Structure 1
Amino acid sequence: MHTWPVQDAKARFSEFLDTCLKEGPQIVTRRGAEAAVLVPLEQWQRLQAAARPSLKELLLSADARTDTLAVPMRGRAKRRTPPVLR
């Protein structure tokens, strides 16, 4: 992967984009530290499809079931007796 200082990526954006499409992901640095990555759309879509769903997506999906989630059993915890006030 090639790294681009942010000022070069901004000034030469067309070249930056073309390089990304031809060679793959390109790293953008800010003050010498890696800050972002430009990724071709196809690769991004592949990464998104492979990502695990979030809890929100899982609960809102048509397949949402409690048996797929690790829900602890209730009623097994011992209760503390309240202190006696004198």
Structure 2
Amino acid sequence: MGRLFSMTTGAVQPFSQSETWCFQDAKARFGEVVQRACTEGPQCVIVPGQDAVVIISAAEFRQLTGPVTGQALIDALQASPFRDIDLESEPVAIPARDAGL
């Protein structure tokens, strides 16, 4: 039996047997696995004896990861001790040779 770890809440949820698929069954019935992920919750796919992947709905993925805003990158750049360095440079002319086709 596998477990699902939530990155936002830190909670660990065990998978019930009905939510676990062996790889071959999941491959053969992929549409059903996706449908169940959307309607019933996470679907765990196992390969001989171990958890391999968990299929979740797009809505649940967005809830776990939060909105993609780029704010973390903006915050990191603003916190940099090098934020006052000018990164603009003069263009460099590089000669090109004829391709000779």
Same fold (TM over 0.5): yes
CA distance in 1 between counterparts of 2:80 and 2:29 reads 51
Look up the match of 1:78.
none
Identity %: 33
Question: Where in structure 1 do 4 or more consecutive aligned residues deviate above 6 Å?
Answer: none
Question: 5+ residue gaps in structure 2?
Answer: 1-14, 82-101
- Structure 2 match to 1:37: 54
| TM-score using structure 1 length | 0.60
Listed as ranges, the matches of 1:5-20 within 5 Å are 5-20=22-37
Q: Which residue of 2 aligns with 1:65?
A: 79
Taking structure 2 as the reference length, the TM-score comes to 0.51
Q: CA-atom RMSD, angstroms?
A: 2.6
- In structure 1, list runs of 5 or more residues that go unmatched: 68-86
Structure with the greater alpha carbon radius of gyration: 1
Q: How many residues align?
A: 61
How much does 1:62 deviate? Answer: 5.3
Structure 2 distance, partners of 1:3, 1:24, is: 11
